[in-house]
Amino acid sequence: TPAELDELLTFTTALARTAGELILEGSQAIQQASASDIGEKKNSVDLVTEYDVKVEELVKREIAAAYPTFQFIGEESYSAGSRPPLTDAPTFCVDPIDGTTNFVHAFPFACISIGLIDQRRPVLGVIYNPFLDHLYSGVAGHGSSLSRAGGAPQTLPLAPARPLPSLSQALVAVEWGSDRTAPAVTKKAESFTRLAGDPARGIARGRMAHSLRSIGSAALNFAMVAQGGLDTYWEIGCWPWDVCAGIVIAQEAGGFVTGGKDAPHDGDVTEGILTGRKYLVIRAIADTEGETGLEAQKR
Ligand code: IPD
Instruction: Classify residue 141 by burial, with Cβ atoms within 10 Å: 0-12, 13-18, 19+.
Output: exposed
Atom of ligand 1 nearest to the CA of 218: 9
* Interstrand relation of 154-155 and 38-40 (parallel, antiparallel or unpaired): unpaired
Residue 7: per-residue pLDDT: 96
The helix/strand/coil state of 98 is strand
Question: What pLDDT tens digit does each residue of the chain (299 aa) get?
Answer: 888 999 999 999 999 999 999 999 999 888 887 766 777 766 666 667 889 999 999 999 999 999 999 999 998 888 888 888 888 899 999 999 999 999 999 999 999 999 999 988 899 999 999 999 999 999 999 999 999 998 999 999 998 877 776 677 788 898 888 888 888 788 788 778 877 875 555 444 556 788 999 999 999 999 999 999 998 888 877 788 888 999 899 999 988 887 644 444 444 444 444 544 445 665 443 333 332 233 323 32
Nearest CA to ligand 1 atom 15: 99
CA distances from 215 to 28, 102, 103 (A): 21, 9, 12
DSSP states of 204-236 = GGT---SEEE--S-HHHHHHHHHHTS-SEEE-S
Give, for ligand 1, the residue of 42, 178, 285 to mutate: max count of ligand atoms closer than 8 Å to Cβ.
178
Q: Read off φ and ψ for residue 16, nearest 5 degrees.
A: -65, -40
Query: CATH 3.40.190.80 region(s) of the chain?
Result: 167-298
Residue 281: per-residue pLDDT: 63
The pTM score is 0.88
Q: Read off φ and ψ for residue 5, nearest 5 degrees.
A: -65, -40
**What is the four-CA torsion angle of 104, 105, 107, 113, rounded to 10 degrees?**
-20
* Ligand 1 centroid from CA 222, angstroms: 12
Atom of ligand 1 nearest to the CA of 176: 11
* Ligand 1 centroid from CA 258, angstroms: 18
Residue 31: per-residue pLDDT: 83
Residue 290: per-residue pLDDT: 32
Q: State the catalytic residues.
A: 75, 95, 97-98, 100, 242
* Ligand 1 centroid from CA 273, angstroms: 25
Contact assessment for residue 97 and residue 55, using Cβ atoms and an 8 Å cutoff: yes
Residue 263: per-residue pLDDT: 43
Q: Read off φ and ψ for residue 194, nearest 5 degrees.
A: -65, -45
Q: Is 175 in the pocket of ligand 1 (CB under 6 A)?
A: yes
Residue 269: per-residue pLDDT: 47
The helix/strand/coil state of 96 is strand
The CATH code of domain 2-155 reads: 3.30.540.10
Q: How many residues can be counted in the chain?
A: 299
Contact assessment for residue 156 and residue 38, using Cβ atoms and an 8 Å cutoff: no
Contact assessment for residue 130 and residue 20, using Cβ atoms and an 8 Å cutoff: yes
Domain range 167-298, CATH architecture = 3-Layer(aba) Sandwich (3.40)
Query: CATH 3.30.540.10 region(s) of the chain?
Result: 2-155
